[in-house]
Structure 1
Amino acid sequence: MSDPVETAELVAFTKTVDAKSLSRAAAELRVPRATVSRRLARLEERLGARLLRRTTRSLVLTDIGEVFYRQACIALKAVRLAEQSVRMTDDVVRGDLRVSVPPMMSVSFHAMLCEFASLYPELRVHVHISNQLVDILHGGYDVALRASSQLQPGLIARTLFRDPMIAVAAPAYLAGRGTPRTQRDLRTHRCLLGFARGELPETHWPLASGGKLHVDGAFFSNDIALLCDAAISGLGIALLPRGLVSPHLESGALVQVLAGVLGAEMQIALVYPERAFLPPQVRAFIDAVAAWVPRELVANQHNSQREPSGAVRRAKEAAPRSSKKASRAFSG
C-alpha cells in the first residue's frame, strides 16, 4: 500500500494549477521553486499518474489531473473546515474569508467591508469582484452575494430582500414603435437583455403567469444599470428590478409595459455551501451585510424622495446614484 498523499503536496498541486506557473506558486506559498517541484513529483509518484505536462513555457493539466484537481480542492476545503471547527471553541474570528460580490457603485458597501475587516484584525479577507457567477462549491469561496430566482444545488441562501422585475421602456421609443399589449407584440420590438448566470446572453423572459417567453435581443449587458440607461435612451424594452427603475417611472423617463404579462421576483441573497456548521467568519460577514442592507435601502429611499419628480434630467443624473446602488450591487 502506497503512502497517503500529504496536504502539502495537494496545496502545491492546486496552487500551481491556479497560478499556472511553478514560480508564481512558489512565491505565493513562500517556499523555493524547487520545493514545489519536488512536492509535485512526489505526488505524481504516489499516485502513479501524470497530473501535469510541464514544458519550459507552460503547464497543462492531463485528463486525470483535471479530475484530481477538482477533488483536491474539495479535500483541502474540508481540511480548512476541520481546522476552523477546532478554532470555534473561542470567540475570536480568524482565518480566511473568501467572498464573491458583483461590481458595486455603493460607497457605503465598501465602507461596510472596510469596517468589517477592521473589526476582525486576525481575519484575512479576500474580496473577488466580478459579474461572473463563481463556483462556490468548488471554487474556494465561502460566501457570495447574488441576485437570482434559482440556486445551485448544495447551497444555502440568506435572503436579504426581494424586488419584482418589470418591463419598462422610454416614452419616445414607444411613440415610434408602439406600445406592446400582448407577449406576441414583443416580436416587433427591440429587447434589452442581460446575461444568464452572468455568462451567456439571455434568450427568454419570465411570464407573470409562469413559464418563459423567447425574446430576440438588440442590446446585451451584464450590468443592469447600463440596461436601465439604454432603456432611458430609447434603445428598447428592458426587464429590470422595480427598485432600480422607480425614480425613472416617477420622473416619466420610463413607463411600465406589459404589466401582468411579463415579470418575476428577483431574490437578493447571500449564498454559501451547505455544511454541518457555519464558520464564525462567514456568520460574522453574513450578519454584517444583513445589517447594512436596511440602512442602504433607507438611505436610497431618502435620497430619491429629495429629487423633484418632474425633473427628468435630474432624475437621470441623481437617481442612478441612489437606486442603482442597491440594485446594481446585486446584479451578479
Structure 2
Amino acid sequence: MSDRWQQLTVFVRVAESGSFSQTARDLRLSQPSVSRIVTELEERVGVKLLIRTTRHLTLTEAGATFLAKARDVITTIEEAEYAARKTDSLDGVVRLALPTAYGSRAIMPLLPSFMEAYPNLQVEILMADERQNLVVDGDDIAIRTGALPDSTFGARRIASLERMVVASPAYFAKKGTPVTPGALSAHDCILGYGAFGRGAWRFKRGNTLISVDIRSRLTINSAPGILAASLQGLGLAIVSDVMSADERADNRLVRVLEGYTLEPAAVYAVYTSGPKPSRKVKALIDHLIRGLRPAG
C-alpha cells in the first residue's frame, strides 16, 4: 500500500470509528502504527486533523473538510478498481472486427453457441474487408488473414485456410480450362487483396515452386466482390475453401489446378490488450479455435 493511500485509508477509518485501537484491528496494524500514520498525515498536510483526548477523538474543522474529500478519493479509486475488474469479467461488451466473407461464413455460425455459453456478454461486430484500426474503432478483437505486421497487439493463430483457383463453368466454356499454372498467363484473372491474388500467384507441386505473373484487367478489394465477379464469368480467382464452399458444392464455381497447391492463409485473432487478453477476449478466441480447428 502506498504511503498516501495508507494515510487516507487509516485516517478515514479512525474518523469513522472514533478509535485508534478499532482501526488497528480492522486494518491489521499495531495501534502505535495507526497513531504514527495519522501524525505523518497531519505533518504532510500541515494542519491538525484530529483532537485526541484519553476518551474521545474529535475532528477539527480542517479534519472534517479533509474527511469528506478523502472519502471521495477512496470511493473514486474503488469505483475505478471495480470498473477494471468488470472489464476483465465475463460480462459487458466484446467488440469483434470481421472480414466480410470469412466472418459471415466461418465466424457467424459459431456465435450462437458462444452467446448461449456466456449469456451476460454482448457482442458488437464491425464487418469490413479493409484492416480496421482496433484502437480507433474501439474493437477488442480483429480476425485477420495472412501475415501480420509487427505490433504491440497480442495475436493467436486460430485457423488455416486452404486456397484454390476457381472460375465459373461459363468462363471455362468461353476461355478453356488451364491445366498447368503456366497456362494462367493466357487467361483473365481477378486480383484480390493480401493472400488472395495480388501480383504473382505461387504454386507448389511436390518440392517444386512455380511462380506465375498474372494478367488482370479486374482488381477487387473484397471477398464477396471476388466471388460475385467469378460467378459472372469474369475470370479465374484465388479463393479460400470456406469462402467458396457453397458455390463449389452446386457447381456454380469449379476448382482447377488441383494437382498444384497454394500456400494456406493463416487466420489470426488480434487483440489490443497486449500479450495477455482479458477474460472475455480469451473466452471468445478459445471458442473460435474449438469451432474452426478440426477435431483430433
* TM-score bucket of the superposed structures, by smaller chain: 0.5 to 0.7
SS of 1:281's partner is: helix
Bigger Rg, structure 1 or 2: 2
Distance 1:246 1:108, change over 3 A: closer
State the identity %.
24
C-alpha separation in 2, matches of 1:96 and 1:131: 23
Q: CA deviation at 1:165?
A: 0.6
Q: CA deviation at 1:179?
A: 2.2
Partner of 2:120: 119
Residue pair 2:154, 2:276 contacting (<8 A) in 1 also = no
Mark the runs of 5 or more structure 2 residues left unpaired by the alignment. 1-79
Q: CA deviation at 1:110?
A: 5.7
C-alpha separation in 2, matches of 1:93 and 1:100: 19
C-alpha separation in 1, matches of 2:136 and 2:144: 17
TM-align CA RMSD: 3.9
C-alpha separation in 2, matches of 1:126 and 1:250: 31
Q: Tell me which of 182, 188, 191 is aligned to 2:189.
A: 191
C-alpha separation in 2, matches of 1:244 and 1:175: 23
Give the partner amino acid of 2:279.
Answer: P
C-alpha separation in 1, matches of 2:136 and 2:270: 14
Give the partner amino acid of 1:151.
Answer: L
Partner of 1:99: 96
Q: Tell me which of 159, 162, 165 is aligned to 1:161.
A: 159
Mark the runs of 5 or more structure 1 residues left unpaired by the alignment. 1-81, 299-332
Partner of 2:244: 245
In the superposition, the TM-score normalised over structure 2's length comes to 0.55
Q: CA deviation at 1:108?
A: 3.8
Q: CA deviation at 1:144?
A: 0.8
C-alpha separation in 1, matches of 2:92 and 2:104: 28
Q: Tell me which of 111, 116, 130 is aligned to 2:128.
A: 130
Matched, 1:278 2:277: yes
Matched, 1:152 2:153: no
Distance 1:195 1:271, change over 3 A: same
Deviations, residues 138-167 of structure 1 (Å, cap 9, x unaligned)? 76533111222x112135443333221111
Residue pair 1:192, 1:236 contacting (<8 A) in 2 also = yes
C-alpha separation in 1, matches of 2:220 and 2:236: 13
Residue pair 2:182, 2:212 contacting (<8 A) in 1 also = no
C-alpha separation in 1, matches of 2:243 and 2:92: 37
Residue pair 1:167, 1:262 contacting (<8 A) in 2 also = no
C-alpha separation in 2, matches of 1:213 and 1:281: 44
Residue pair 2:164, 2:239 contacting (<8 A) in 1 also = yes
Residue pair 2:159, 2:289 contacting (<8 A) in 1 also = no
C-alpha separation in 2, matches of 1:211 and 1:140: 42
Distance 1:212 1:118, change over 3 A: farther
SS of 1:202's partner is: coil
SS of 1:207's partner is: strand
Q: CA deviation at 1:173?
A: 1.8
Give the partner amino acid of 1:194.
Answer: G
In the superposition, the TM-score normalised over structure 1's length comes to 0.50
Residue pair 2:192, 2:219 contacting (<8 A) in 1 also = yes
C-alpha separation in 2, matches of 1:160 and 1:260: 27
Alignment of 1:314-329 (within 5 A): none
C-alpha separation in 2, matches of 1:280 and 1:195: 33
Matched, 1:267 2:273: no
Give the partner amino acid of 2:190.
Answer: L
C-alpha separation in 1, matches of 2:154 and 2:209: 24
Give the partner amino acid of 1:206.
Answer: R
